[in-house]
């Protein structure tokens, strides 16, 4: 079956690199689905124009409290144009898997509201898809304060059976990310 090759921009803000990896995996799936995809790290590359893109995916890496300034800056700069585009949004949070393991439904719903719904509402967007994916904790790439906070978080991860490898605790579910990207492809074509 022939599909229209949708021009897609994935722009992300990341602190420690997990969102970059997630963005690349989403782009891989979309390319397999026939999309033309450009992936941009909002911290390294300035986006001047989004007119040529039909689908725009905004990804953001969560640190203990909120969105990166780069992802927020992108939303602020292009809010009016994004309102007329097909938009999808995801955030990466290592806490997501921890809350799932602990059965903390209230915390999952709270994260969904705070990190997705409330943030997107500020810019009057109506995304065709949203998601919270896992992230990672890598104390080697953190400043001293974040390392101290991460120490307690890592203890919680280990307490529910989430093990690190080489000091990195990667909580991303690659199958869930790929499934979301495939579903997004279908929604974007509709």
* Residue 1, domain member (yes or no): no
- Given its phi and psi angles, is residue 161 left (phi above 0), alpha (psi -120 to 50 degrees) or beta? left
* Residue 42, domain member (yes or no): yes
* Residue 47, domain member (yes or no): yes
Residue 1: predicted pLDDT: 43
pLDDT in tens, 122-163: 999 999 999 999 888 888 877 888 788 888 888 888 888 888
pLDDT in tens, 87-109: 999 999 888 877 887 888 888 88
**Separation between Cα atoms, residue 68 and residue 82, nearest integer Å:** 18
* Residue 73, domain member (yes or no): yes
pLDDT greater than 80 at residue 86: yes
Instruction: Output the domain CATH number for residue 124.
Output: 3.40.50.360
**Separation between Cα atoms, residue 137 and residue 18, nearest integer Å:** 9
152 or 183, which is more confident?
A: 183
Rg of the chain over all Cα atoms, to the nearest angstrom? 17
* Residue 2, domain member (yes or no): no
Evaluate if pTM is beyond 0.85: yes
* Residue 165, domain member (yes or no): yes
Count of domains forming the chain = 1
Residues 6+ apart with CB under 8 A from 14: 20, 41, 43, 59, 60, 61, 68, 92
* Residue 151, domain member (yes or no): yes
16 or 86, which is more confident?
A: 86
Residue 177: predicted pLDDT: 98
* Residue 116, domain member (yes or no): yes
Domain containing 113 equals 7-189
């Amino acid at each position: 079956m022939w599909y229209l090759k949708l021009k897609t921009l994935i722009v992300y803000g990341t602190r420690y690199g997990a969102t970059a990896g997630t963005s690349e995996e989403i782009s891989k799936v979309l390319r397999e689905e026939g999309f033309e995809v450009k992936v941009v790290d909002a911290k390294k590359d300035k986006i001047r124009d989004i007119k040529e893109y039909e689908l725009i995916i905004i990804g953001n890496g969560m640190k203990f409290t909120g969105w990166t300034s780069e992802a927020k800056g992108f939303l602020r700069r292009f809010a009016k144009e994004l309102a007329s585009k097909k938009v999808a949004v995801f955030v990466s949070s290592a806490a997501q898997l921890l809350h799932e393991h602990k059965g903390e439904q209230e915390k999952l719903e709270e994260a969904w509201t705070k990190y997705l719904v409330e943030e997107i509402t500020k810019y009057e967007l109506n995304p065709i898809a949203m998601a919270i994916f896992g992230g990672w904790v890598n104390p080697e790439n953190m400043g001293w304060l974040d390392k101290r906070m991460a120490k307690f978080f890592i203890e919680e991860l280990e307490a529910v059976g989430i093990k690190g490898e080489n000091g990195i605790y990667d909580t991303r579910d690659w199958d869930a990310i790929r499934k979301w990207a495939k579903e997004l492809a279908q929604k974007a074509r509709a």
